[in-house]
Amino acid sequence: MNDIVAEMNQVMAEADCLVNEQQVQTAIRTLADDISARLKDSNPLLFCVMNGGLILTGQLLPRLAFPVQAEYLHATRYRQETTGGILEWKLQPEADMNDRTVLIIDDILDEGTTLCAIADYCRAHGASNVLTAVLVDKQHDRKARPGLKADFTGLEVEDRFLFGYGMDYKGYWRNAPGIYAVKGL
Ligand SMILES: O=P(O)(O)OC[C@H]1O[C@H](OP(=O)(O)OP(=O)(O)O)[C@H](O)[C@@H]1O
Ligand SMILES: Nc1nc2[nH]cnc2c(=O)[nH]1
What gap in Å lies between CA 122 and CA 101, rounded to an integer?
A: 10
Q: Which domain holds residue 144?
A: 21-157
Number of folded domains that form the chain: 1
137 lines ligand 1 (CB under 6 A): no
Encode pLDDT of 50-88 as tens digits: 999 999 999 999 999 999 999 999 999 988 888 888 999
139-151: pLDDT as tens digits? 999 999 999 999 9
Give the CATH number of the domain where residue 32 resides: 3.40.50.2020
Is 28 within a domain? yes
Looking at this predicted complex, what is its ipTM? Answer: 0.97
pLDDT band at 1 (very low <50, low <70, confident <90, very high): low
pTM score: 0.96
- Note whether residue 6 is domain-resident: no
Ligand 2 neighbourhood includes 108 CB (under 6 angstroms): yes
Assess whether the C-beta atom of 161 lies below 6 angstroms from ligand 2.
yes
Atom 20 (ligand 1) nearest CA: 52
* Mean pLDDT, range 91-104, rounded to an integer: 95
In a domain, 13, yes or no: no
Determine, yes or no, domain membership for 164.
Answer: no
Sign of the alpha-carbon dihedral angle for 126, 127, 130, 136: negative
